[in-house]
Amino acid sequence: MLKGLVAAMIVGSLSIGPALASGRRPVRARCPTGRVMLRTNSVVVYRRLVPPTGGADALGSDAVCLSKTGRRIRLGQYNIGGGERIENLYYRTAGRFLGFDAADIGSRDGDHTRLVLLNLTTGRRRSLDEGGGLSIRPPGTLVRATALALAANGSMVWIARVINVDANGQEAPPTYELHELTQTTSRVLASGSDIRPTALRLSGGRVSWVQGGTMRTSPA
């Protein structure tokens, strides 16, 4: 009986040995090729150029691909007339969520921002338009995202640069606002001209930013 047990153990080790030795990774679905904007273990955000037709401007088409299943979700198309290279510095992913700024991608001088929070499991989106006549702010208000952070529970925080323009086209000095966007709510956490535009962190259910030269924190 002992000999039989030893033999069974040997046969079992031979059957699993090659697979372990090869170090094979689980098979993943193949995502389309394109310019990679963001790559993690679970998703790939990529961009493809759409050739112009009939004198129209060229477009950049962004999509996210789930690495495990190959499922693709279209994120949007963006005008890139004149060969302008467009970037998105704000694609962020955490848990089953993807957050990004979908307005005027690549232009730091745009007049508005459109934050999108996408649930990668359900495909549900929540959008927030700010500035450029797209919100309840006064006409002539320019709003631009300068930083964005995302938590695994779907809470997204971002810093807005806000500039008011008078009837003569004169711009007031910028002020900054710290916003939170979730699947159900939107609120302003802080505001002031002394907020550092790019200093933002979201970790452990708390958001951290710099205002007046001091690091501040708040529940998110």
Closest CA to 61 of 77, 46, 83, 45: 77
CB 185 within 8 A of CB 179: no
DSSP 8-state class, residue 58: P
Instruction: Give counts: helices (H), strands (E), the chain.
Output: 1, 15
Strands 156-164 and 175-181: antiparallel
pTM for the whole structure: 0.71
CA proximity to 113, closest of 89, 97, 95, 93: 89
Return per-residue pLDDT of the chain as tens, 220 residues.
Answer: 545 544 444 444 444 444 444 555 555 568 877 888 889 999 999 888 777 666 666 677 888 999 989 999 988 776 655 444 445 557 899 999 999 887 644 344 455 677 888 999 999 988 776 644 345 566 667 788 889 999 998 889 999 888 887 777 788 899 999 998 887 888 889 999 999 999 999 988 899 999 999 999 988 7
Rounded to whole angstroms, how far apart are CA atoms 103 and 106? 9
